[in-house]
């Protein structure tokens, strides 16, 4: 058994790195170990889908400089898989057989790609996903030999990948079960405007459709059968979403539902284990898949793992992306609009949708107004009044 660590953090994504920072802020003397199975962590995964066409250099997406923790109190170990957790003994076992002892533990294991029901074990390797640097390299290599590409998904990742495919002079088709693009982030009208942009770029769209099967046709392509038709494609990319990674937590007996269940302090069913990011399920069932939300949770979980008493307050976080020639800003768009006052404005190529409650502005969807992104963010966080929004933001 090696020396005991005050805090061990599993996962070096945005939540895990922020957990280290939060813990150090609470207790500068805490001895912290940061573990990740990815040899190249920590890096910013959200950048991968934006550089498929241009490629990228080693270290281009680094989340933090590895030397930023080089004061002796923090150690980063990459390429290390945690195979089990013994909560009673407060030890971890790594894939190489070594054991690590902890005082408190932070699980920031993130999420993993979802696959359609039709995927069978022997088909792994015949399609692509995009979650890690290794996924990105494999996808770039695979696309070098492809012309027609089927992208399964209608969310932001699917659209960003499609944007890159057009830049790579491929012929993409998007297929998905939803009736519109980005249903969690865009209003119906915003989705229509985005759809027009994709059609202008010669992207084929297949709404409310589903892949039923795909088989190697022996000619270097895949025959894909769908509810509404079929076709042959050189490559298939699955972008249908992610699910919380809970296997390690479930294996050691923590309470798990869709994600790892936590309280308002991001504490799991074990008081010595905290959880942050995509793998955390909050008391009301909320699971966030936004980068900045994961980072914010990481700070709180790390602070509390080091003895603090911070509370996760469910503040809103924005999503922004540039897809083809359209800039998208979406923040806290409600899934159910009953009870909201909604103001939609469309001037030239700029679109705005504001969602008001009695307390003020609660959510916003904007297309093509990137210079005022921070103002939109501030307006939602501070719940600006209808009058203030009309005076300072509404076109």
What does the radius of gyration of the chain's CA atoms come to, in whole angstroms?
A: 22
pLDDT of residue 262: 98
Contact between 241 and 152 (Cβ < 8 Å)? no
Give the pLDDT confidence score for residue 385 in this predicted structure.
98
Joined tokens for residue 23: 């813990």
* Per-residue CA distances from 190 to 60, 210, 329 (Å): 32, 23, 11
Per-residue pLDDT of the chain (395 residues; tens, 9 = 90+): 566 899 999 999 999 999 999 999 999 999 999 999 999 989 999 999 999 999 988 888 988 766 666 667 899 999 999 999 999 999 999 988 889 999 999 999 999 999 888 776 556 667 899 999 999 999 999 999 899 999 999 999 999 999 999 999 999 999 999 999 999 999 999 999 999 999 999 999 999 999 998 888 888 889 999 999 899 999 999 999 999 999 999 999 999 999 999 999 999 999 999 999 999 999 999 999 899 999 999 999 999 999 999 999 988 999 999 999 999 999 999 999 999 999 999 999 999 999 999 999 999 999 999 999 999 999 999 999 999 999 999 99
Classify burial at 40, counting beta carbons within 10 Å of its beta carbon; exposed 0-12, middle 13-18, buried 19 or more: middle
Calculated CA dihedral for residues 213, 112, 48, 135, nearest 10 degrees: -60
Query: Rounded to whole angstroms, how far apart are CA atoms 104 and 87?
Result: 10
Whole-model pTM?
Answer: 0.94
Distance CA 151, CA 131 (A): 15
Predicted pLDDT of residue 120: 65
Give the CA diameter of the chain: 66
- Give bridge partners of residue 86 from the DSSP assignment: 91
Q: Which two tokens stand for residue 99?
A: 């054991």
Write out the H or E segment, with its range, that includes residue 250: helix 247-251
pLDDT for 66:
63
pLDDT score, position 314: 84
Q: Which two tokens stand for residue 140?
A: 């770039």
Is the bond leading into 42 cis (omega within 30 degrees of zero)?
yes
> Is residue 99 a contact partner of residue 268, using CB atoms and an 8 Å limit?
no
Helix, strand, coil percent content, the chain, rounded in steps of 5: 25, 30, 45
Contact criterion met (CB below 8 Å) for 107 and 19: no
| pLDDT at position 123 | 62
Q: Residue 388: which of 338, 365, 349, 354 has the closest Cα?
A: 354
């Amino acid at each position: 058994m090696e020396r005991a660590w005050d805090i061990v953090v599993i996962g070096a994504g945005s939540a895990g790195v922020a957990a280290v920072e939060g813990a150090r802020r609470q207790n500068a003397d805490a001895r912290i170990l940061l573990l990740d199975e990815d040899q190249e962590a920590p890096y910013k995964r959200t950048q991968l889908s934006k550089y498929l066409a241009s490629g990228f250099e080693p270290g281009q997406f680094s989340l933090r400089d590895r030397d930023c923790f080089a004061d002796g109190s923090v150690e980063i170990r990459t390429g290390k898989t945690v195979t089990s957790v013994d909560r009673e003994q407060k030890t971890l076992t790594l894939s190489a057989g070594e054991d690590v002892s902890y005082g408190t533990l932070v699980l920031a294991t993130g999420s993993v790609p979802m696959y359609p029901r039709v995927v069978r074990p022997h088909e792994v390797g015949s399609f692509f996903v995009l979650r890690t640097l290794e996924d990105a390299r494999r996808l770039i290599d695979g696309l070098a030999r492809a012309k027609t590409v089927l992208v399964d998904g209608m969310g932001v990742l699917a659209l960003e990948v499609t944007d890159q495919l057009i830049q790579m002079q491929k012929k993409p088709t998007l297929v998905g079960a939803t009736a519109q693009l980005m249903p969690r982030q865009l209003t119906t009208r915003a989705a229509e405007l985005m759809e027009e942009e994709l059609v202008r770029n010669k992207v084929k769209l297949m709404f409310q459709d589903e892949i039923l099967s795909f088989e190697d046709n022996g000619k270097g392509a895949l025959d894909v059968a769908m509810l509404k038709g079929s076709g042959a494609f050189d490559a298939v990319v699955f972008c249908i979403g992610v699910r919380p990674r809970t296997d390690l937590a479930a294996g050691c007996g923590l309470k798990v539902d869709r994600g790892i269940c936590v309280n308002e302090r991001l504490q799991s069913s074990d008081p010595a284990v905290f959880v942050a990011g995509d793998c955390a399920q909050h008391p009301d069932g909320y699971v966030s898949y936004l980068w900045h939300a994961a980072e914010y949770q990481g700070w709180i979980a790390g602070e509390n793992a080091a003895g603090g008493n911070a509370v996760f307050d469910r503040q809103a976080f924005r999503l922004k992306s540039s897809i083809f020639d359209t800039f998208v800003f979406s923040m806290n768009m409600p899934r159910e609009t009953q009870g909201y006052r909604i103001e939609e404005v469309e001037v030239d190529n700029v679109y705005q949708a504001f969602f008001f409650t009695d307390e003020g502005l609660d959510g916003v969807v904007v297309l093509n107004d990137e210079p005022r992104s921070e103002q939109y963010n501030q307006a939602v966080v501070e719940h600006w009044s209808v009058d203030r929004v009309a005076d300072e933001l509404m076109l």
